[in-house]
Amino acid sequence: MHLKHLYIIRHCSAVGQSPDAPLTAKGVHLADKLSNYLIDKSIESIICSPYVRARQTIETFAERSSISIRVEPRLVERVLSERNLNDWKECLKQTFEDFDLAFDGGESSQTAMARAVEIVQEILWSGPDRVAMVTHGNLMTLILKHFDTRFGFQDWEKLSNPDVFLVTTDGVRATVERTWTYST
């Protein structure tokens, strides 16, 4: 297998966490910066979470590059619990320590990673060589952990909105590199 390049992108900042939450004004500004960043990467395909914030993050780039966006339900953010958890951050940390731990109505890290890795495997075996994949912070961290087991909760805490990691793989070995450097 020849090299595949996956640009794994976390959405820009949004006004909330619901599936229909749009980008903030700063998020819209950074989506434009993201488009400028991606334009010379020879991306051939865009796969995106159906959440509004994810689509809005990549729409400008898609329009500028004349690439249609494939909406992929398996890229939605992981549900930690169907209940509102006051200590949700500590609960999230626990799911990185115990990959099988699932809270009421939520997904374990193992389950969420498995659904995301299905998409990655499809890309590696039959997709184009350069793909932009737009998702959410928790799922992004789990995808990166699939390629580099050192990724975990502390890396999730350091993510920005947006954020971009480039995974380059030949199907056997992979490198993971954070490539996003814009902050405002």
Say which amino acid occupies 108. Answer: S
Secondary structure class of 96 (helix, strand, coil): helix
Question: Is residue 170 pLDDT above 90, yes or no?
Answer: no
CB 71 within 8 A of CB 119: no
Q: Which residues contact 42 (CB under 8 A, 6 or more apart)?
A: 130
b/e code 150-171 from CB counts within 10 Å (16+ = b): ebbbebbeebbbbbbbbbebee
Report the pLDDT averaged over residues 52-57: 98
- The predicted pLDDT at position 131 comes to 97
Grade residue 184 by pLDDT with cuts at 50, 70 and 90. low
Q: pLDDT of 55-110, one tens digit each?
A: 999 999 999 999 999 999 999 999 999 998 999 999 999 999 999 999 999 999 99
**What end-to-end distance do the CA atoms of the chain give, in Å?**
38
Question: Is residue 47 pLDDT above 80, yes or no?
Answer: yes
**Closest to 21 (Cα-Cα) out of 56, 45, 47:** 56
How far is C-alpha 6 from the chain's CA centre? Answer: 11
Grade residue 183 by pLDDT with cuts at 50, 70 and 90. low
- The predicted pLDDT at position 126 comes to 84
Question: Is residue 1 pLDDT above 70, yes or no?
Answer: no
Distance (Å, whole) CA 25 – CA 30: 9
- The predicted pLDDT at position 69 comes to 98
- Domains delineated in the chain: 4-178 (3.40.50.1240)
Name beta bridge partners: 178: 165
Question: Is residue 7 pLDDT above 90, yes or no?
Answer: yes
- The predicted pLDDT at position 182 comes to 72
**Mean model confidence pLDDT for the chain:** 94
What are the distances in angstroms from CA 76 to CA 33, 98, 120, 181?
23, 21, 14, 24
